[in-house]
Structure 1
């Protein structure tokens, strides 16, 4: 999954692919989100994936993102120096994570 923007804040969108353990694509999404910040969109993309995976009955999820900031927020569960809106989305993700058997967040460099 990924969030994208032409600045921050700017016009933004989210998109991604969810595939199962057999490498079969289960869903694809891409959504324009209006005017927001890039980190907010990265977190929103992760929320979308975790929600959709949960709806499909997935109990173990691996999230890969090129946003080190958002991955750190989810792994360390610290909300210092972030907007309330970003913290709210991260908390929603963490609440969903509690219902799963396992979930991991991995930083994947953009290169």
Structure 2
């Protein structure tokens, strides 16, 4: 079965999110990317978390990406990640792990300002750009870099385009 990233439909945007880590717990990073149905990059972020577990990195990536969507006034969003634990937990607002559950109120509050949303699980192959950004976040060592289509770092853009060459002529490059 071929797994690939697919754009959202109509006037929806897709936020792909991922957490990366080296050790569990260990140095961790987050990455998100927001793309519309025309495959145009609307924004994203990557950053370091310091020490975190794999699941903490995943949920914090979702929370950071969600905050970015709210800041940009996006209101029809498909949230897509490769952690089934996070997708199931957020969809049901229930996490058995208290470290993850503490993010539920923040996420639910942010979701109140979004008109329509859905959560979808994808496999790693469909989440490559967010994964790449999360790994760049580990290397960042401190802080978070937020970018839009106009101000994306050339290194980040080249990295994204190396993973998604079909985007070269669709507004992202």
TM over 0.5: yes
State the number of aligned residues: 109
What are the ranges of 5 or more consecutive residues in structure 2 without an aligned counterpart? Answer: 1-16, 126-173
Does 1:94 pair with 2:108?
yes
Match of 2:22 in 1: 6
Give me the TM-score of the superposition, normalised by structure 2: 0.59
Match of 2:54 in 1: 38
What are the ranges of 5 or more consecutive residues in structure 1 without an aligned counterpart? Answer: none
Say if 1:64 and 1:105, in contact at 8 Å, map to a contact too.
Answer: yes
More strand by share: 1
Match of 2:38 in 1: 22
Q: How much has 1:34 moved relative to structure 2?
A: 0.3
**Equivalent residue for 1:103, pick from 117, 120, 130:** 117
Distance 1:46 1:57 in 2: 16
Give me the TM-score of the superposition, normalised by structure 1: 0.90
RMSD across aligned C-alpha pairs, in angstroms? 1.3
Say if 2:29 and 2:57, in contact at 8 Å, map to a contact too.
Answer: yes
Structure with more relative contact order (C-alpha pairs < 8 Å, separation 6 or more): 2
Distance 2:44 2:116 in 1: 22
For the pair shown, the structure with the greater C-alpha radius of gyration is 2
4+ residue stretches of structure 1 with deviation over 6 A?
none
User: Which SS does the other structure have where 1:106 is aligned?
Assistant: strand
